Each structure stands twice: as structure tokens, then as C-alpha cells.
Amino acid sequence: MVTIRITKGHVVATVTILIVAGLIGAGWFYGRDMLHPGAAAQEAKTREITLDLEPFVVNLSGDAGRYLRASVTIALANERDKQLVKSAGSRVRDGILLLLSGKTADKLLAPEGKTELRDELVARINTAVGDDLASNVYFREFLIQ
């Protein structure tokens, strides 16, 4: 049978190594912002601000009795742009409603139809606001019946 002897020196050395390793880890974790001071600001700039619009329900063009229910989220650069889009809410909704109601079910059911619609929505929103504020549009709900 093997006997392992743990001395006071072993315990002190082990605890010292753990403390030093913890300090090095904490220094790396908290000090990385000092090595790259603009990293936090850059990360905040690249974070997208989004604005959820109320759902749209429109009759589709050329298809008697077919309608589209769509919920969209607008991607914006910052809170100021979000407030500008909110203030132009009626113009934005009107532009989107006119665009959606001019589409056919066949066009929207195709994957490229949704991609094309996304680009058209961004352009329509930016036209309604009067500036290139919307960078993207995400569909939260897309139902054709």
C-alpha cells in the first residue's frame, strides 16, 4: 500500500499557484478593454436596434379571398433612428400596406419573392422616413391564406 504524505509546504504551494492563476485570469478578463479601448464602443455601434411594427393584414392582388398577415421588425443603427421611424409611423405603415396589397400569393410564396419583398420594404420605409435609416427588415410572421 502506498502512503501519500501532504505537508504544509505542499498546501501552501498549491494555494499560491491557484491564487496566482486566478489573478492572471482576472487581469486578462478585466484588462482586455484596456488593451483595446475602442472595442467596447465598436461593439455598441455594431449592435442593431430593432423596432417591431404591428401586424399587417392585407388582401392580395389578383387572388380573390386570399390575404397576407405579416409582422415585421425594422433594423436600425441607433435609438435616434428608431424615434425618427416611430414619428413617421403613419407614413411607414401606409407605404408598407400599399406595397403588400400589390403583391400576389404566387409571387410571395416563392423564396426569392420574400427576399425581394424584404428589399422593397427597406426601400419603402426609407422613402417614408426621408432618409436611409432602415438597414434590414425581418419577418416575425408571414402567413398567406
pLDDT tens column, 16-73? 988 888 888 877 777 766 666 665 555 555 678 999 999 999 999 986 789 999 999 9
Confidence of residue 125 (pLDDT cuts 50, 70, 90): very high
Query: What per-residue confidence (pLDDT) applies to 43?
Result: 57
Mean of the per-residue pLDDT values of the chain? 87
Name residues whose C-beta falls within 8 Å of residue 144's C-beta, 6 or more positions apart in sequence.
60, 66, 67, 68, 105, 108, 109
Q: Does 97 have pLDDT greater than 60?
A: yes
pLDDT tens column, 2-31? 777 778 787 888 889 888 888 888 777 777
In the chain, what are the domain boundaries? 8-44, 48-144
Query: What per-residue confidence (pLDDT) applies to 47?
Result: 78
For 87-100, b/e burial (b = at least 16 CB within 10 A) is ebeebbeebbeebb
Give the separation between CA 62 and CA 108, rounded to whole angstroms.
13
Its CATH architecture, for the domain 48-144, is 2-Layer Sandwich (3.30)
Q: Does 89 have pLDDT greater than 60?
A: yes
Q: Considering the chain, what percentage of its residues have pLDDT values greater than 90?
A: 63
Query: What per-residue confidence (pLDDT) applies to 3?
Result: 73
Q: Which three cell numbers stand for residue 65?
A: 379571398
CA angle 48, 52, 57 (to 5 degrees): 145
